[in-house]
Structure 1
């Protein structure tokens, strides 16, 4: 039976008892909902016994203030409703919980810092689709997994008590927070007790991803040669094989800590290292000296060593591509967007945090050093590669992902390569477009939540 989106009306105190709810007679007849008969109402982890009252010429749902408080629902909300006759259950939802890294309770205009606008856009997307969303940090998790304090938006941001959600969306930006025992225990409990879904449940590291995808025949053709930098022998072997290699922190992001190693004449080596404000250049007489200089860092940072690629360029600046791939209302991977990123003048990486700039794939291809016959086809080929890689992640890695940022490169021969897979694509780079419009990337998050929860 399909769900129906209904406007929630909350009765004034004492006008409606908490174990009654009012539905329009047309819906009651259409779905054959028994009236004045005990039914179970489900909303996330909340279980509450109610009886339905039928009301002529009424198109919403009316609940008591007491029940609204238990649900954590604000006035003028819209929710989808499903009736399951086999279990005599009315289910409201989907209820979506977004786990974020931090909040600023005193800053009601911007309680979540740079992702506040994204969170507000999620609220608007939920209202349109009949879903309900709240936001919480690891500090909001208490002793009971079925109930927590969280932020919701009505006329302003406020904190209230809410049930555990049908679907949790992990937007934590810190591995330390993600690995907290309280967070991991909560994740485990809501899955086992309430059947909650939890997507983008973990950070990825580069070695894990490349080792896993290397086992997938469809995806392995996109992979540059890549190894965990365990010792000097690995560095020596890769540098003998390729004139340029990259050392990437396996748990890095935003282009931080990447070292580009290039072979010079006479056996010397040049390193370029990303730093705030520019690139640090250093020359070494040989590989042994170079390894000695980075071996201290290797005590604290594990590196992935990767084959250097001859990327296409615009005005002598390397270009790569970021694909946002998300699961849709049918639970299938689809490409939401692909943008080109050109490195800034002081950097060899294209991340926006390092001075990179965005353009469309078409613009970048046209301006780039790509062969003319490949330029028109590159958009389609990038989309195919992004979908292949997302499906490979699903097959080869045991964790649950609903969106991925996939960084792709195109070399001067037109071959597509995978640079990185990011399970927490940034929500700071692109602000909402305003005017009440919802970006496809935001709508897709709610679509997937609906798919997971059966709405």
Structure 2
């Protein structure tokens, strides 16, 4: 089956009927399409029988205005094309749909809030790779239809009626939205009806991840001891074993709600909690008193208790590492980037939302107090650990993931530990849009979508 990129152009409906397309004879030969025969044109969920009219000395696919409207095409652009002679199907695309939490039509420059520039960048990258992308919200799923209302960028954001995508990337930011019956019904429906691929289909709970990975003997070396916090007994046991422990909301993100407990030389217990203003410190004469103050939180929030680690520090600030691990154009996991995150002053977590700063992993490791041999080894072992953990998540958690944010830590001896796995790595606008430069992470995502769609 031949696959390549072809310019698609709209022509006046008076020149071309809706059930016919014009195709350059060079392209017809490449694709092995018989002249004047009828074939089925598909674009995402769109299907239509069309007659192919050959055009000499041309490499353009021309469609009528009416057909272009039904396809959701408004501009001249190039799309990947493939033809199967056995099924007589001419496919265009792929169409990639991105399911986002909300839109703000009254703010065209910030239509999707902090991920607007990412959406523009993804559009530019799709144009370069012959794919077509649109963005839609859960509100678009309230009415059941064979098409969907989605946003496309064409010298400004426009809302169009579009075919169901070949591949959908879930960028919903809350579990509440993800679990809406309309969302779950839509996803089940398009998977069964159109064979739509849907990736990053669910949030991950911290306890779920650690329990799943613990099944693999080769991954246990990366896992700090960790349990669901069900009462005082497990807190007492963990505090008796380790100098410090962390209590992390099972469904938390951005470092919110994390508690750190440690014992003073005097025998009293110190509780550190994250707040937007910095770290709040409280001291209790006994662990039982401390538990009494934490217990009310446990009524509304499930916590995971985790072994505290003597983290690598830069300037007395703890450092951890975020690895972005993505599926590539052959469906295999690869490490796209690893960045170091150094905690802000007066904070014990490194999240950027809590004043943390970014640097390359290489820079952070070079500035650290690790022995030189360990530093070199770590550069190799960090991506290896991230890849092994991504494969473990895929093996032991029954869901489809195409990219994962994997948070790793180094202790002061250079040992690698897993802190957290995030199935919705941040796409917030933290870099200015440069139309000439598309980040490797965005290119990789499209390559994976093309792999899934077979285009």
Contact 2:115-2:429 at 8 Å conserved across structures: no
Question: Equivalences for 1:14-413 in 2 at 5 Å?
Answer: 14-413=14-413
Aligned counterparts of 1:71 and 1:429: Cα–Cα separation in 2: 30
Q: Provide the aligned length of Structure 1 versus Structure 2.
A: 455
Contact 1:333-1:390 at 8 Å conserved across structures: yes
Off by >3 Å, runs of 4+ in structure 1: none
Aligned counterparts of 2:4 and 2:145: Cα–Cα separation in 1: 28
The structural deviation recorded for 1:69 is 0.9
Bigger mean CA deviation after superposition, 170-179 or 430-439:
430-439
Aligned counterparts of 2:82 and 2:335: Cα–Cα separation in 1: 30
User: Could you report, residue by residue, the CA deviation over 1:189-210 in whole angstroms, capped at 9, with x for unpaired residues?
Assistant: 0101000000001000100000
The structural deviation recorded for 1:375 is 1.2
Bigger mean CA deviation after superposition, 425-434 or 43-52:
425-434
Contact 1:118-1:431 at 8 Å conserved across structures: no
Contact 1:258-1:274 at 8 Å conserved across structures: yes
Q: Secondary structure at the match of 2:222?
A: coil
User: Could you report, residue by residue, the CA deviation over 1:344-378 in whole angstroms, capped at 9, with x for unpaired residues?
Assistant: 01100000000000111111112112222211222
Aligned counterparts of 1:26 and 1:17: Cα–Cα separation in 2: 22
Contact 2:116-2:429 at 8 Å conserved across structures: no
The structural deviation recorded for 1:432 is 4.7
Aligned counterparts of 1:376 and 1:360: Cα–Cα separation in 2: 14
Aligned counterparts of 1:292 and 1:413: Cα–Cα separation in 2: 35
Aligned counterparts of 2:3 and 2:142: Cα–Cα separation in 1: 32
Bigger mean CA deviation after superposition, 331-340 or 11-20:
11-20
Contact 1:42-1:91 at 8 Å conserved across structures: yes
Contact 1:142-1:148 at 8 Å conserved across structures: no
Contact 2:117-2:433 at 8 Å conserved across structures: no
Distance 1:145 1:251, change over 3 A: farther
Q: Secondary structure at the match of 2:67?
A: helix
Q: Secondary structure at the match of 2:16?
A: coil
5+ long unaligned stretches in structure 1:
none
The structural deviation recorded for 1:2 is 3.6
User: Could you report, residue by residue, the CA deviation over 1:171-201 in whole angstroms, capped at 9, with x for unpaired residues?
Assistant: 1111111111100111110101000000001
Name the structure 2 match of 1:449.
449
The structural deviation recorded for 1:434 is 1.1
User: Could you report, residue by residue, the CA deviation over 1:238-294 in whole angstroms, capped at 9, with x for unpaired residues?
Assistant: 111111000000000000000000012343210110001101100111111111111
Give the structure-2-normalised TM-score: 0.98
Bigger mean CA deviation after superposition, 23-32 or 44-53:
23-32
Aligned counterparts of 2:270 and 2:68: Cα–Cα separation in 1: 64
Contact 2:118-2:429 at 8 Å conserved across structures: no
Aligned counterparts of 1:145 and 1:255: Cα–Cα separation in 2: 40
Distance 1:70 1:314, change over 3 A: same
Distance 1:7 1:432, change over 3 A: farther
Aligned counterparts of 1:257 and 1:297: Cα–Cα separation in 2: 10
Distance 1:97 1:355, change over 3 A: same
User: Could you report, residue by residue, the CA deviation over 1:393-414 in whole angstroms, capped at 9, with x for unpaired residues?
Assistant: 1101100000000000000111
The structural deviation recorded for 1:145 is 4.7
Q: Secondary structure at the match of 1:387?
A: helix
Contact 2:124-2:435 at 8 Å conserved across structures: no
Contact 2:117-2:429 at 8 Å conserved across structures: no
* RMSD (CA atoms): 1.1
Contact 1:322-1:341 at 8 Å conserved across structures: yes
The structural deviation recorded for 1:144 is 2.3
The structural deviation recorded for 1:75 is 1.2
User: Could you report, residue by residue, the CA deviation over 1:205-245 in whole angstroms, capped at 9, with x for unpaired residues?
Assistant: 10000000100122221000000001111111111111100
Give the structure-1-normalised TM-score: 0.98
The structural deviation recorded for 1:93 is 1.0
